[in-house]
Structures are given as C-alpha cells and as structure tokens.
Amino acid sequence: MAQQDFYQVLGVSEQADAAEIKKAYRKLAKQYHPDANPNDPKAAERFKAISEAHGVLSDAEKRAKYDRMRKLGAFDSIRTSRGGGARPRGGAAPQEESFDFGDIGNFGLGDIFSSIFGKRRGEERSTQPENVEVQVSVPFRTAAVGGKVPVTLTMTDACDACGGKGAAPGASMQTCAECDGRGTISFGQGGFAVNRPCPACRGRGSIPSTPCPTCGGSGEQRTRKELLVTVPPATETGTRVRLKGQGSHRTAGGPKSDLLITFQVESDRFFSRDGLDILCTIPIALSQAVLGTTVQVKTIGGSKVKLRIPAGTQPGKKFRVRGQGLTKGGQTGDQIVTVNVKIPEKLTPEQEKAFREFAESRRP
C-alpha cells in the first residue's frame, strides 16, 4: 500500500518555502472543508489529509524528519506480512533494522499510513482521543483589543450508537484474521520494517460479527459544534489557545480531548500594527498641509483624538499619539499616524492664478 506524499497532497515541490506551503494549504483547506462539501463524504478525508500534510511541512523540525524518511523509502509502495518481512524458504528470518523517527505532528510513523486507527506495536488502543486543531479567522480590531468570535466545528466523535466499538447491539467480537488480533501489521522493505494499524479491524484486534448500522462499523460519527471563543488582546496571527475538554471523544461518554485553536488575523482597511504600535494613514488637503490644521483621528478602541498638523507639513510625515496602541504584558504601544497630502487634480481659474503668483514669488 502506497502512502500519498505530503508534498503531493498540497501540490507543492520539495523546495517549496513556508509561504508557498501556507498558501497551498489555505486554498485546499477552503476548497475541501467539510462545511463547504456537506454532500461529499470524501471531502472530510481529503481535508484531513491536507491538514496532516500542512501540520508536518509547516514545521521545520517535523519537515526535516519527514524528508529523512522519504529518502529512506519509507513511503514507497511496500508489501505486507503478518509477522514481519518475508522469510526465505528454509532459512532464518532476515535481520531487520528498526528506525525511530519520533512523532510527526500528532501522529507517529504508523499513523502516517493511517492516522485514524491510533494503535502502534506494543501499545493498546488509547482511550484518549487526539486533540482537535482548527484555524480561526479573527477581525483585526477584535484581535487588537480582545473579544469573542463564533466558531462552528465539524469533528469526528465516537459513534453514540455503538460507543465507538463499531459493533451492532448484541454482536459478538471475533479475532481479526488479518492481524491475528495484534491490531497491527508489518511492512518490510530493504533492511527495515515498520508497523501500522491493521486496516481490517482498525487497530482494535477484533471484528464484530455484525457492524454497527449507524456508523457502518467505523465506530465514528461526524458532529457539528458551535461555540464562542475568547480572543486575548494583542492577538497575532499564529497565536494559539487551548480549550480543555472541548475536542472529540473516542468512546461515547468517555474523556474528551482538547481543542487547539490557531488564530489568523484578518487585515483592516484603516489600521495595521507593528508590535504594540497601531499604524494608520490619513489624507489631508494641500491647503491644510501648507497652512496647518487640526484633525480628528479614530483609534483602535473606537474613540477619536485630536491631532495638530503644523503648517508646512510634508507628505509622509508621521505623528505619534501616545498610549493609543495595544496593551500586553503591562506595556502599551502608541498610534503612529502617517499624513498623505492630497494634490488637487483640477484647479479653478482663481486657484490656478493664485498658485502661479505663489510660484512666481518663490523664484530667486
């Protein structure tokens, strides 16, 4: 069974930088999100594969581990056996070298082949489900001053009908013939072998005589959840919050995992930021720049402050309004206002005459 390459999943080259990977992920995640494809059962699987690929390739350390495994051929098409690599007729079992590549994202090497099963060699299937990770877009001003945003999630939970076992009521459990009840099967190639959860029993080691009619034997169901998420003040893109017990559960009524939310801050038409400083640009007329004036400037908090523009102000001049920036860790930034002097495109005859007289007076 061949594992699809993470670079192929995102449609990027091996030399793609972080920006290219992020751009590809956003495009595909939006296209295949389950909420946008409610009638396409394959969309959820595709979305999960996209999220897994991004989780690895967007992290430099995880990506380096993944690249090393690719070079070793761990993702080539390899054959299966129930007890390890193939044994030569009349000979001893070949020596195999074990490789520990560590965890990549929220799953190990076995989970790369099939992340939904959750069982590795020498381990029982964990009753603790994996944490749910989502990315949430936040308006700029909400991210700046803090607030709450509504979030709608579609996640995988244990089937309520069978409690996550995949068996119909009254069904008997039989030892899986594919893995002999171990819950894992071995893949061997070259001088090494890796284990992966058994696809026949989904890593459980047993198969029900009658599958659950509600979930088709998968033990899982898709659920929709709506909640309000608190956004801390001075939140930046990439800021992550953990909501304890707000994720999914592997067994009906069992413990729930955590929900990990990564914020993506949207741009604003008027404001931007540099650290704790808020930046904005205001237009003023040429006459105001020449003669001076006082203007009102809105702040990120919603109020307005008066800003004095002195006579002779040049285009691009920056003014600092103290204490009107973001507050974090006991520190407060400023608001930096840049002046954009508007040059009139057309003049009345009187205005043109006045400008010509002014220009003549400036000649040496």
Domain boundary among 265, 300, 328: 265
Shared domain check, 337 and 256? no
Residue 304, domain CATH: 2.60.260.20
Same domain, 259 and 356: no
Inside any domain, residue 73: no
Number of domains present in the structure of the chain: 2
Residue 156 lies in a domain: yes
Looking at residue 246, its pLDDT comes to 85
Identify the pLDDT of residue 112: 43
What CATH number does the domain containing 119 carry? Answer: 2.10.230.10
The beta strands (E) that lie in the chain are given as: 79-81, 132-138, 147-158, 173-175, 184-189, 192-197, 206-208, 220-231, 240-243, 259-265, 272-274, 277-285, 293-298, 304-309, 318-321, 327-328, 331-332, 335-342
Place of tokens 């690719």: 70
What's the angle, vertex CA 82, arms to CA 166 and CA 193, rounded to 5?
A: 110
Look at residue 180 in the predicted model and tell me its pLDDT: 86
Q: Same structural domain for residues 133 and 235?
A: yes
Give domain status of residue 147, yes or no.
yes
Q: Does residue 180 sit in the same domain as residue 294?
A: no
Whether residue 24 lies inside any domain: the answer is no
| 100 and 245 within one domain | yes
Q: Count of alpha carbons within 13 Å of 170, Cβ hemisphere only?
A: 0
Which pLDDT does position 294 carry in this prediction? 96
Burial class for 270, CB neighbours closer than 10 Å (0-12, 13-18, 19+): middle
Q: CA–CA separation, 34 vs 56, rounded Å?
A: 21
Q: Which of 230, 265, 300 is the last residue of a domain?
A: 265
Same domain membership, residue 294 and residue 254: no
Q: Give kind and range of the element (H or E) at residue 354.
A: helix 349-362
- Is residue 273 within 8 A of residue 279, CB to CB? The reply is yes
- Secondary structure E strands in 99-211: 132-138, 147-158, 173-175, 184-189, 192-197, 206-208
| Owning domain of residue 217 | 78-265
Q: What are phi and psi of 174, to 5 degrees?
A: -115, 145
Q: What is the pLDDT of residue 269?
A: 93
Q: Does residue 4 sit within a domain?
A: no
Considering the domain architecture, whether residues 298 and 234 belong to the same structural domain is answered as: no
Q: Look at residue 94 in the predicted model and tell me its pLDDT.
A: 38
Structure tokens given for 278: 């808020």
**Residue-level pLDDT at 224:** 87
For residues 290 and 314, membership in a common domain is answered with: yes
The predicted pLDDT at position 192 comes to 54
Q: How far apart are CA 80 and CA 205, in angstroms?
A: 17
Per-residue pLDDT, 72:
61
Both 180 and 287 in a single domain? no
**pLDDT string in tens for the chain (364-residue length):** 345 788 889 999 988 998 899 999 888 988 887 777 777 778 778 888 888 888 889 888 888 888 877 766 555 433 333 333 333 334 443 333 333 334 444 444 444 443 333 333 334 444 566 788 889 999 999 999 999 999 988 888 888 888 888 889 888 888 988 888 888 887 654 445 567 778 878 777 888 889 899 888 888 888 888 999 999 999 999 999 999 988 887 666 678 889 999 999 999 999 999 999 999 999 999 999 999 999 999 999 999 999 999 999 999 999 999 999 999 989 999 999 999 999 888 889 888 888 888 888 877 6
Looking at the fold, whether 223 and 290 belong to one and the same domain comes out as no
- The verdict on residue 126 lying in a domain is yes
